[in-house]
Amino acid sequence: MKTSYDFIIIGAGIAGMSLAYALSTSDSSFLIIHSPKKTSASSIASGLINPIAGKRLETVANYDELYNISSAFYSHISHLHRNDNYFEYKEILRIFRNEKERETFHKKYPLDHPSIYAGPSFQEADSLLKFGDQC
């Protein structure tokens, strides 16, 4: 059994497995140490790439570049495995925590001039629930 590795990867989530794939295409040796947990980021978010994030609802820096890199990477992996389920574009529905968060969002992304990340379907979703409504 080998006891020396070039890299030790902690976790076999999306990031760990992506790194393992990249290392597998080189001459590097690596060991993956993984303890599966139901509350891991990969199991909860499933690789979600969100252009607007954080408490202040800011557009993620370099989002377009990161999106292009990740979509090309996952498309490549899908092609290698003859599986087209690795990467799929879907719209995200943001549910606001409260009225203040909703107002903050509308100041940054007004409905009469939506950004490329908050398009026409946002207007429809925004009117679905009023705060205090029960789902």
Residue 9 covered by a domain:
yes
Residue 93 covered by a domain:
no
- Note if the pTM is more than 0.85: no
Residue 11 covered by a domain:
yes
Q: Identify whether the C-beta of residue 60 lies closer than 8 Å to the C-beta of residue 66.
A: yes
56-65 per-position pLDDT tens digit? 888 888 988 9
80-96 per-position pLDDT tens digit? 777 666 677 777 777 78
Give the span between the Cα atoms of 1 and 18, in whole angstroms: 24
Give the span between the Cα atoms of 41 and 99, in whole angstroms: 27
Q: Which pairs from 20-26 meet CB under 8 Å and 24+ separation? A: 21/77
The domain tally of the chain equals 1
- Of the candidates 32, 42, 27, 25, the one whose C-alpha atom is nearest the C-alpha of residue 11 is 32
CA–CA distance from 133 to each of 3, 47, 60, 88 (Å)? Answer: 58, 30, 30, 31
* Residue range of the domain that includes 19: 1-35
Which residues on adjacent β-strands are paired with residue 53? 58
Give the span between the Cα atoms of 20 and 88, in whole angstroms: 22
Residue 6 covered by a domain:
yes
Residue 2 covered by a domain:
yes
27-45 per-position pLDDT tens digit? 899 999 988 776 777 766 6
